[in-house]
């Protein structure tokens, strides 16, 4: 390890311990390391500023603010409620019915908004109070919502997949990542539902009466316009009608049309506030991307990816052990770092190792994102966990014991995704998206 990298890590750790925002900590530690390397304050400042500006100077990244705005419109536009009613008609009669409804709704809403925190706040705002009213345990309700919400980052469209496709340097397309996430997302949702069924059977959480076909059709009719957004986005991308960035813009127009004109849940006077909140979220995400790009540049010029690759490969050349080590590292990273900087920083570090064992970059991307999704549900910086506790009006200490079986389910799904590449690659291979 070079002195510059040691300085970078030390300053970054000190700033995090001082509760400095992650993006600021990344930028300042990158600047300090560069200052040491070049020996000039002015040159270091110019270099880091240039790298940060270059990091967000991408047409592809325009998809992110559009999907963020689309998610805000969906969250406030009555879409979550309609999806919940449809999910209830499908799985509400099962043992632990509302828990299953929660998972399915998060999967549907997440696939539309591409945001885990939006799913926690929007779906949790409906489902947690309803589950409380039906005498489900509050910690269980928050645990279900928190973990289920992460499926929205794996089931397309997903902002973090756009970031990964960008940092891969052209190795993968956004469309391939979107298609690769469908089966893994469904697998994680199924594993969570299996845990819900087991716990509910022991706790006596019963389902509702089995609905008649007419009820199912009625809720589907109310939700079909919302569900049609997935067909528009994915269908348009697959058929080459528009790019992922254009698809994101179309999703904003469609979500706005539903929220304001069709459902009338959002008034024109509310749009400025929605735009402001979407703008604030976008600013946070782009600052993270810019700062992480600067840090990734320093790591690259200091040959950290190559050094780390040689270190891992000198430890073992067994692909199974290497994948286990990579997963353990990413799980640890996910507990203290946000997804966006983690993807930007660790993709170039870990990718050379995966190349050595012949892993497809799309498969690696799904493994990376799945690991970091688990981190969103774990302390000390799990965003979904803290939002879930806020929505449920409970404490972290109360929720953690109920989360343990759900952690186990997500780790089991991660193991299958890691060692069965077909789960990730079957759909993109079918559409001819793999190199």
Please identify which residue in the block is written with the tokens 């052990």. 321
The answer to whether the pTM exceeds 0.75 is yes
CA pair distance 305, 290, nearest whole angstrom: 20
3-state SS class at 20: coil
Contact between residue 424 and residue 155 where contact means Cβ atoms under 8 Å apart: no
In this prediction, residues 220-247 reach a mean pLDDT of: 86
Residue 59 dihedral angles phi and psi, to the nearest 5°: -65, -35
User: Sign (positive/negative) of CA torsion 318, 323, 324, 330?
Assistant: positive
- Contact by Cβ (8 Å): 184, 92: no
What pLDDT is stored for residue 114 in this prediction? 67
Structure-token pair, residue 133: 């009213």
Cα distances from 365 to residues 42, 177, 273, in angstroms, run 37, 8, 34
Please check the confidence at residue 75 and state whether its pLDDT lies above 80: no
Range list of H helices, 150-270? 159-167, 174-180, 182-203, 213-238, 244-256
Cα(179)–Cα(199) distance, rounded to whole angstroms?
A: 32
User: Would you call 243 helix, strand, or coil by DSSP?
Assistant: coil
Of 245 and 406, the structure prediction assigns the larger pLDDT to: 406
Predicted confidence at residue 146, as pLDDT, reads 95
* Nearest of 146, 189, 202 to residue 400 by alpha carbon: 146
For the chain, the average pLDDT equals: 90
Is it the case that residue 406 has pLDDT exceeding 80?
Answer: yes
Query: Is residue 172 left, alpha or beta, with left meaning phi > 0 and alpha meaning psi from -120 to 50?
Result: beta
pLDDT of residue 133 exceeding 90, the answer is: yes
pLDDT at 290 over 60: yes
12 dihedral zone (left: phi>0; alpha: psi -120 to 50; beta): alpha
Name the helix (H) or strand (E) containing 102.
helix 97-113
Tokens 């070049």 sit on residue: 38
pLDDT of 115 > 80? The answer is: no
Higher pLDDT, 247 or 365: 365
Least confident of 118-132, 138-152, 212-226: 118-132
359 band by pLDDT with thresholds 50, 70 and 90: very high
Q: Which H or E element spans position 261? A: none
Per-residue pLDDT at 239: 81
Report the candidate in 183, 174, 167, 121 with the shortest Cα–Cα distance to residue 146.
Answer: 121
CA distances 388 to 46, 121, 142, 215, 384, Å, are 40, 7, 6, 30, 6
Residue 425 has what pLDDT? 97
**Residue in 174, 178, 126 with CA at minimum distance from that of residue 156:** 178
Phi, psi angle pair for 209, to nearest 5°: -65, 145
pLDDT attached to residue 35 = 95
Least confident of 42-51, 232-241, 263-272: 232-241
**pLDDT for the residue 1:** 56
CB atoms within 10 A of CB 100: 26
The owner of tokens 């506030």 is 273
pLDDT, residue 77, reads 81
R_g over Cα of the chain: 22
The Cα 56–Cα 61 span in angstroms is 7
Residue-by-residue DSSP string for 24-82:
HHHHHHHHHHHHHHHS-HHHHHHHHHHHHHHHT--SGGGHHHHHHHHHHHHHHTTHHHH
- In sequence order, the 6+-apart residues with CB closer than 8 A to the CB of 266 are 73, 76, 77, 256, 259, 260, 274
Residue 68, pLDDT above cutoff 90: no
What pLDDT, on the 0 to 100 scale, is given for residue 316? 84
């Amino acid at each position: 390890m070079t002195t510059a990298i040691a300085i970078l890590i030390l300053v970054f750790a000190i700033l995090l311990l001082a509760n400095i925002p992650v993006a600021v900590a990344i930028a300042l530690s990158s600047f300090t390391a560069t200052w040491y390397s070049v020996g000039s304050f002015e040159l270091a400042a110019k270099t880091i500023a240039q790298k940060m500006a270059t990091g967000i100077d991408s047409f592809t990244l325009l998809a992110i603010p559009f999907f963020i705005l689309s998610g805000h419109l969906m969250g406030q536009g009555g879409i979550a409620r309609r999806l919940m009613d449809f999910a209830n008609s499908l799985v509400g009669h099962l043992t632990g019915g509302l828990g299953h409804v929660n998972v399915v709704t998060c999967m549907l809403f997440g696939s539309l908004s591409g945001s885990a925190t939006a799913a926690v706040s929007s779906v949790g705002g409906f489902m947690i109070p309803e589950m409380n009213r039906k005498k489900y345990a509050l910690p269980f309700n928050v645990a279900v919502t928190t973990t289920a919400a992460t499926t929205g980052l794996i089931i397309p469209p997903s902002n973090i997949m756009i970031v990964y496709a960008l940092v891969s340097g052209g190795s993968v397309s956004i469309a391939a990542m979107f298609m690769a996430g469908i089966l893994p997302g469904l697998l994680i949702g199924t594993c969570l539902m299996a845990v819900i069924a087991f716990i509910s059977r022991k706790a006596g959480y019963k389902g509702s009466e089995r609905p008649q076909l007419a009820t199912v059709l009625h809720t589907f009719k109310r939700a079909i316009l919302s569900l049609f957004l997935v067909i528009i986005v994915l269908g348009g991308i697959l058929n080459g009608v528009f790019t992922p960035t254009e698809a994101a813009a179309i999703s904003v127009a469609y979500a706005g049309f539903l929220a304001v004109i069709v459902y009338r849940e959002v008034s024109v006077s509310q749009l400025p506030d929605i735009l402001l909140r979407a703008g604030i979220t976008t600013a946070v995400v782009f600052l993270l991307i810019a700062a992480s790009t600067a840090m990734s540049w320093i790591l690259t010029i200091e040959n950290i990816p190559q050094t780390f690759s040689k270190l891992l490969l000198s430890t073992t050349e067994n692909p199974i052990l290497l994948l286990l080590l990579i997963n353990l590292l990413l799980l640890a990273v996910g507990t203290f770092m946000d997804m966006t900087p983690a993807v930007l920083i660790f993709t170039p570090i870990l990718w050379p190792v995966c190349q050595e064992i012949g892993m497809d970059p799309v498969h690696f991307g799904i493994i990376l994102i799945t690991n970091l999704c688990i981190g969103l549900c774990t302390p000390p910086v799990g965003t979904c966990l803290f939002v879930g506790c806020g929505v449920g009006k409970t404490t972290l200490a109360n929720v953690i014991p109920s989360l343990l079986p759900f952690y186990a389910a997500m780790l089991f799904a991660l193991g299958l995704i890691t060692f069965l590449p077909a789960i990730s690659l079957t759909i993109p291979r079918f559409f001819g998206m793999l190199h």
